[in-house]
Amino acid sequence: MTGITGTVTDRTGAPATGAYVYAYRSPRGGLRGPADFEAAVGADGRYLLDLAEGSYHLVARRRPDGGDAGPPRSGDAWALPAKNPVTVMPGRLATVDFALHMVAQPMLMREGTLTSGDTGFTGTLVDAAGHPLSGAFVIAYPDGDLKRMPEATSPAVGEDGHFTLYVNRPGRWCLAARTRTRGQPVAGELYGVLGEGAAGCREVSAGQMAEVGSIRLSPYRR
């Protein structure tokens, strides 16, 4: 058989029964529209996509109502593979596992976004009072221009506010955090940067997970 198989688990590590794994031939559209292929996750947490050889962009998603159709919505749990696209070789089953994360807003992920690796940044997102903030994301840019689409995006943080952001290469990265994932920040959105100007950018070496401390988010003002 040729295709992709693996497991999908929830935040507790239990099988994500009722989830689906979607395969797209192209990332155009941000993995948000109808998929080219899909597979349901069984009671044991396993799925199987029967695919021809080629490259596919994957996303796993579980909707609160258990449905498999329609665009991503707030309240969905989702996950990406370690790196998209996934290559399928003839006569082989590639193995890709997912661990779902809850998100406050549907994601629009850049092609190549990483959900695992050995190079990146860790830290904590906090609110204006210094308390851990859940449901926000960390985004990274190769320079200080924070107005375009970020090159790397972290999974949504949990209740402890801890984030892990993987990047695809060592070097200098400028970090920000927000609660929305599309477009420019809007008035009232929780938003923050690691630091002003050069202080918001840090160097990371290959194989290093650099601890950057806290990023404080507060309502955005234009």
Residue 84 has what pLDDT?
Answer: 79
| Interval 61-69 mean pLDDT | 70
- The span from the CA of 136 to the CA of 163, in Å, is 9
Least confident of 36-50, 100-114, 126-140: 100-114
Residue 149 has what pLDDT?
Answer: 83
The model's pLDDT over 91-113, given as tens digits with 9 standing for 90+, comes to: 999 999 998 876 644 444 554 45
Confidence tier at 116 by pLDDT (50, 70, 90): low
The model's pLDDT over 186-198, given as tens digits with 9 standing for 90+, comes to: 888 899 999 988 8
Percent of the chain with pLDDT strictly greater than 90: 47
- The span from the CA of 103 to the CA of 105, in Å, is 6
CATH fold match for the domains 3-102 and 120-219: yes
CB 3 within 8 A of CB 21: no
Residue 106 has what pLDDT?
Answer: 46
CATH 2.60.40.1120 for domain 120-219: yes
Residue 169 has what pLDDT?
Answer: 92
Query: Domain residue spans in the chain?
Result: 3-102, 120-219
Q: How open is the CA angle 187-178-189, to the nearest 5 degrees?
A: 20
> Please, which residues bridge with residue 15 across strands?
9
User: Rounded to whole angstroms, what are the CA distances from 170 to 116, 198, 202, 211?
Assistant: 15, 17, 10, 14
Residue 103 has what pLDDT?
Answer: 60
Q: Which fold has domain 3-102?
A: Immunoglobulin-like (2.60.40)
| Interval 118-143 mean pLDDT | 90
The model's pLDDT over 139-177, given as tens digits with 9 standing for 90+, comes to: 999 998 888 888 888 877 767 888 889 898 999 999 999
Q: Is the pLDDT of residue 32 over 80?
A: no
| Interval 109-118 mean pLDDT | 62
| Interval 43-70 mean pLDDT | 85
What integer best gives the mean pLDDT of the chain?
85
Instruction: Compute the radius of gyration of the chain from its Cα atoms.
Output: 18
0.75 exceeded by the pTM?
Answer: no
